[in-house]
Amino acid sequence: MNTKRMTRSVWGFSSSILVAAFLFSFLPAGGLAAQDKPEKKARKAQQQKKQRKVPAAMKPVTDVAGLPRVLLIGDSISIGYTVGVRELLSGKANVHRPLTNCGPTTKGVKELEKWLGDKPWDVIHFNFGLHDLKYLGPKGQNLADPKAEGSHQQVPIADYEKHLRAMVARMEKTGARLIWRSTTPVPPGAKGRVVGDSVKYNAVAAKIMKERKIAIDDMYSFTMPRLKEIMRPANVHFTPAGSKALAKQAVAAITAALKKRSEPSGK
């Protein structure tokens, strides 16, 4: 072989190795195997999601034949007392709830039909309010400062009334006894909400319920004297003991409704 040609071949081969080595130096630590990391992370996250324990309140309930059916509708406050209500009514009623935080009335209007399902209900205990009256930022930021420019309530009170009336009309068609649960207080320091707004929204709801002759479970009045005792500081949510107290309050209202329903003229 010609010496010059051989030299060029060797030089070309060496150059290729140098280029490959240069390019390889830019790969992530661990080389090509690092490319699999995002996929592995995604698989791991999916497995962890599956392994997360489902809260007891969000587990479907299998009916005990012959017992009346009760539906709880509400946000995280109702999620907090769902298990307590089930325990207190064990052997007396099948207590269900939508397997979600029912949120504001805008969500209720969209999803109520699904929550009601196709089986009969004896009692429906329901609430909307804390999500309606909370403040969002100009770009929808959750729990915005009510005093900040562009902040607005998620559902203005006029729309709240309109949505609530529509849902009440639909629930009345089920033939169940309805119980409105008044919205619990906004304590001082709670983020994204204004103290006293629960009173305003409750007044609108009370007007509708009185017109429709619907029972009111007044959890607002029940909670107000016990704010420091059963609510978390500067937070609309309740302590575990507080949720148990609300469960007892709800059960008293539900039991009264079931009793009336069992009377000859009750419906």
Q: For residues 114, 120, 125 and 131, what is the CA-based torsion angle, rounded to 10 degrees?
A: 10
Identify the pLDDT of residue 264: 73
Domain identity same for 237 and 113: yes
Identify the pLDDT of residue 48: 65
Domain identity same for 41 and 100: no
Residue 126 Cα to chain centre, angstroms: 14
What CATH number is associated with residue 167? Answer: 3.40.50.1110
Range of the domain at 85: 64-262
C-beta separation of 179 from 126 below 8 A: yes
**CB-based burial, 112-131: b 16+ in 10 Å, e otherwise:** beebbeeeebbbbbbbbbbb
- pLDDT tens string, the chain, 267 residues long: the values are 454 454 444 445 444 444 444 444 544 555 445 556 777 777 776 766 655 788 999 999 999 999 999 999 999 999 999 999 999 999 999 999 999 999 999 999 999 999 999 999 999 999 999 999 999 999 999 999 999 999 999 999 999 999 999 999 999 999 999 999 999 999 999 999 999 999 999 999 999 999 999 999 999 999 999 999 999 999 999 999 999 999 999 999 999 999 998 887 665
Inside any domain, residue 267: no
* Total domains present in the chain: 2
Identify the pLDDT of residue 261: 84
Structure tokens at 264: 């000859």
Inside any domain, residue 113: yes
Inside any domain, residue 105: yes
Nearest to 253 by CA among 85, 112, 56: 85
Contacts (Cβ under 8 Å, ≥6 apart) of 167: 105, 108, 109, 112, 126, 128
C-beta separation of 95 from 70 below 8 A: yes
Residue 63 DSSP one-character state: P
Identify the pLDDT of residue 69: 98
Q: Strand ranges (DSSP E) for 215-263?
A: 215-217
Contacts (Cβ under 8 Å, ≥6 apart) of 266: 177, 259, 260
Domain identity same for 42 and 133: no
Domain identity same for 136 and 228: yes
Residues 192 and 137: their CA atoms lie apart, in Å, by 9
Inside any domain, residue 33: yes
Identify the pLDDT of residue 161: 98
Domain identity same for 82 and 201: yes
Inside any domain, residue 57: no
Domain identity same for 127 and 213: yes
pTM of model > 0.85: no
Residues 25 and 198: their CA atoms lie apart, in Å, by 62
Inside any domain, residue 58: no
Domain identity same for 194 and 104: yes
Identify the pLDDT of residue 7: 44
Inside any domain, residue 56: no
